[in-house]
Amino acid sequence: MKKTGILLFNFLFILLLSCDKDRDDFDNNFILLEMQTDENLDYENPEFEISLYGHNDTIADTGANLITSQNFSAKEFPFIIRMDIPANPYAKIENLEENSNARFYITIQWDSDNNGQNCAGDIDLDENVQDVELINIDRRDAQDIFLHTISETTPCD
């Protein structure tokens, strides 16, 4: 009886450990993005979409593959969003033989003035601050994403 109890206890203990491992793996399938700006950004529409793409950096003239796309709602700047990513985002990149050759970047679609178009006056990535598009999917701390208002030189469709 005592041996059965010990075996049952060990079995349950191992089962619990394996459940925690699965949960940890699931919980690691995200990136944190800190949305910030040097401007006073006004927005009528707080809803925006961020898309994460991946591509093979060793093959020229190939398109990127969509890894995930998610909708978010803006808060007061700066704010951090959690973007869930698939368990194996590398598998979504075509012709990728080694994970070390993968590069990831984001795009943002934010019709912040709510006119139905993404153009002058809307909010977009500020590539003048830094190379904000490149994303490290293995980082667990927040990655800085700088935003700005699209200039008047970008016409509406």
Quick check: 132 pLDDT over 60?
no
The per-residue pLDDT for range 44-74, each reduced to its tens digit, is: 999 999 999 999 999 988 889 999 999 999 9
Domain-embedded: residue 156:
no
What would the mean pLDDT of 111-133 be, rounded to a whole number? 84
Domain-embedded: residue 34:
yes
- By the 8 A CB rule, do 63 and 55 touch? yes
Q: What percent of the chain has pLDDT over 70?
A: 78
- Where is average pLDDT lowest: 2-11, 123-132, 148-157? 2-11
- The number of beta carbons lying within 10 Å of the beta carbon of residue 111 is 19
What's the full length of the chain, in residues?
157
Domain-embedded: residue 21:
no
Domain-embedded: residue 99:
yes
Domain-embedded: residue 117:
yes
pLDDT, residue 45, reads 94
- By the 8 A CB rule, do 144 and 126 touch? no
Q: How do 30-37 and 143-149 pair as beta strands?
A: parallel
Domain-embedded: residue 20:
no
**Number of independent structural domains in the chain:** 1
- By the 8 A CB rule, do 124 and 153 touch? no
Domain-embedded: residue 5:
no
Domain ranges, residue 121:
30-149
Instruction: Answer yes or no: pTM beyond 0.85.
Output: no
Domain-embedded: residue 66:
yes
Quick check: 117 pLDDT over 80?
yes
